[in-house]
Structure 1
Amino acid sequence: MPKYNAYLIDLDGTIYHGKQPIPAAKRFIERLQTAKIPYLFVTNNSTKTAKDVADNLTINHGIKTTVDQVYTSAMATADYVKGLTDDGQKVYLIGEAGLKDALENAGIDLVPADEANVVVMGLDRHFTYQKLKEATFAIARGAKFIATNADTNLPSEEGMLPGAGSLVAALKTATGVEPTIIAKPEAPIMEGALAKLNHPDRPVMVGDNYNTDILAGIKNGLDTLLVYTGVSKPAEVAKEVNQPTDFVANFDEWSVE
């Protein structure tokens, strides 16, 4: 019997580096497919739709992926908002296509800021002072403040770009209100991902970043597998009180059986 019967797997730094494939990661996914072990790609990125993510994996990295094998912070945010106990959630959105698509697909109303009872914020590369002002006023009137993720930076071929967390920090400063964070390492995205996998009894969280992927597993009671192909480095992780369950230099060192 395999040690784990479901895998939650990060993407950038774990399965690929931007546009660059990680060959050992492709072989790892192929071993999961052969063993018929369910897995779900779980990403903090809210800008891409599940189809965008699946197409990128399939076309650009040779990893055949369906939309049902993808769970983004945008999808987790939509699930969370839909599950709020108040009726008639009306959302003022600061974010891009992936987040807009997820909210609309969940049947959530997107409205101007002066009609909103929820402000949802993700990465928005067209962020403006006007959006900041409108969101600030909405939260001051009592709207809930929900952020897809608090990632301060995200890797790119140009270098470390400002992430959603840098924009969230501006709105948090302007309002004095702590947002509900959806993405790794927080609980909402993990709860949503496990539900999507039908609550497996032996899941593992896999990723390259101790502070998001591995802490997500630790904080939510999952075993963890840290792969040293991305953000975190062995010397840094060795200093942490809470260690990953397992770690590998690359996925060729890992057996799924």
Structure 2
Amino acid sequence: MTDDLLSHHDVLLADLDGTLYRGADVIPGAVDAVRGAADRGVPTVYVTNNASRSPSAVAAHLAELGFPADVADVRTSSQAAATMLAEQLPAGASVLVVGAAALADEVRARGLTVTADADAAAAVVQGHSPDTGWRQLADAVVAIRGGARWIATNVDATLPTERGPLPGNGSMVQVVRTASGAEPQVAGKPAARLLREAQGPAVRPLVVGDRLDTDIEGAHALGAPSLMVLTGASGPADLLAAPPELRPTYLGTDLAALTRHPDELVPGPRPGWQVDAGADGLRLSGDGTSAEPVTDALRALCAAAWQQGAVRVTAEGGAAGRALAQLGLGS
């Protein structure tokens, strides 16, 4: 029987952008990894903080890219936010939606009414839309000051685009927070709600993602192990500086890590590398003897940095210097 990371779990709760694809491009090996997991009886639930697209649109995009995905396999923060509203409001209650049509559709699907009247709103739900402007944000502030409940689909400060990171829903939430003095309930990652809904009846979930402050922090909130992949938003420097609530259980170069033994993926001492702590930080030496020496160097550095609280790194020797260069780390 195979004793790899995948064999220890009964569902993958996978992030999308940065984990499975970047924009319109599939991350190499991601489709094969997800299909391989499905062939072994481990399904993937696609969990996204993006509230601007409907679950059917997300599923269609994933299927077009080659992933095995149906609408039932997708969980979005708009779904979680609408469910939270329905639990807290009477049927037919009026909700001011600051966000895309997909979010408004989810609100209506829970038996609630969408309103544009800030004074009549029993609640405000806020999700990302590229069309959100000052008037919508001002209406949200008026409604919240008037006593409306406030739920944010997510609080991601940025979102990835072809032009680099641009303001995400969290940046717009901050505008309303500043003007209203209120604090929203949060439906999406890193809150546990969305991941818990995605987990369903599974008992051994693995959260897979590329971003420390949503995917990995969300796994901690859920109480589940996590696999951090180096294909998206958070990088080596972020990992070295991560506080305990942002530290992944496992660290992989990409989703091929699912077929490796868990012990090989845990941050800690790795064959061929030595990390020494001194007054000036950490010093990496050695030549790495594994199949992926650079990621192994990072696993060793993370363990030392988390123990010592040091994030400044220098290299001793050519192999160590090349590893740090590939990781984007240095003195």
Aligned Cα RMSD in Å?
Answer: 1.7
Assess, with a 3 A threshold, how the Cα gap between structure 1 residues 236 and 134 changes in structure 2: closer, same or farther.
Answer: closer
Cα distance in 1 between the residues matched to 2:14 and 2:60: 17
How far did 1:235 drift?
3.4
Assess, with a 3 A threshold, how the Cα gap between structure 1 residues 192 and 226 changes in structure 2: closer, same or farther.
Answer: same
How far did 1:187 drift?
2.2
Partner of 2:328: none
Partner of 1:137: 142
Residue identity in the other structure for 1:93:
V
Q: Is the 8 A contact 2:91 2:112 kept in 1?
A: no
Instruction: Say whether residues 1:171 and 2:176 are aligned partners.
Output: yes
Secondary structure in 1 matching 2:88: coil
Cα distance in 2 between the residues matched to 1:64 and 1:57: 7
Instruction: Say whether residues 1:205 and 2:210 are aligned partners.
Output: no
- TM normalised by structure 1 equals 0.93
How far did 1:123 drift?
1.1
Q: Which has the higher contact order (CA 8 A, sep 6+)?
A: 1
Partner of 2:224: 222
Q: Which among 47, 50, 54 is matched to residue 55 of structure 2?
A: 50
Cα deviation digits, residues 134-169 of structure 1 (max 9, x gap): 221111110011111111111111221211111111
How far did 1:89 drift?
3.3
Cα distance in 2 between the residues matched to 1:228 and 1:154: 17
Partner of 2:127: 122
- TM normalised by structure 2 equals 0.73
Instruction: Say whether residues 1:249 and 2:256 are aligned partners.
Output: no
Q: Is the 8 A contact 1:80 1:188 kept in 2?
A: no
Cα distance in 2 between the residues matched to 1:191 and 1:256: 26
Comparing 239-248 with 110-119, greater Cα deviation is found at 239-248
Secondary structure in 1 matching 2:29: helix
Instruction: Say whether residues 1:110 and 2:141 are aligned partners.
Output: no
Question: What is the 5 A alignment of 1:76-87?
Answer: 76-84=80-88
Cα distance in 1 between the residues matched to 2:16 and 2:187: 17
Residue identity in the other structure for 2:152:
A
How far did 1:32 drift?
1.4
Secondary structure in 1 matching 2:226: strand
How far did 1:211 drift?
1.1
Aligned length: 253
Comparing 202-211 with 236-245, greater Cα deviation is found at 236-245
Residue identity in the other structure for 2:57:
D
How far did 1:170 drift?
0.9
Residue identity in the other structure for 1:207:
G
Instruction: Say whether residues 1:101 and 2:101 are aligned partners.
Output: no
Cα deviation digits, residues 199-252 of structure 1 (max 9, x gap): x21111110111110110012201111111111112321332423111110112
Residue identity in the other structure for 2:82:
A
Cα distance in 2 between the residues matched to 1:222 and 1:230: 21
Assess, with a 3 A threshold, how the Cα gap between structure 1 residues 90 and 154 changes in structure 2: closer, same or farther.
Answer: same
Residue identity in the other structure for 1:210:
L
Cα distance in 2 between the residues matched to 1:114 and 1:235: 46
Residue identity in the other structure for 2:163:
E
Question: What is the 5 A alignment of 1:177-192?
Answer: 177-192=182-197
User: Structure 2: any 5+ residue segments left out of the alignment?
Assistant: 2-6, 262-331
User: Structure 1: any 5+ residue segments left out of the alignment?
Assistant: none
Cα distance in 2 between the residues matched to 1:117 and 1:85: 8
Residue identity in the other structure for 1:128:
G
Cα distance in 2 between the residues matched to 1:235 and 1:167: 27
Q: Which runs of 4+ in 1 moved over 4 A?
A: 85-88
Secondary structure in 1 matching 2:38: helix
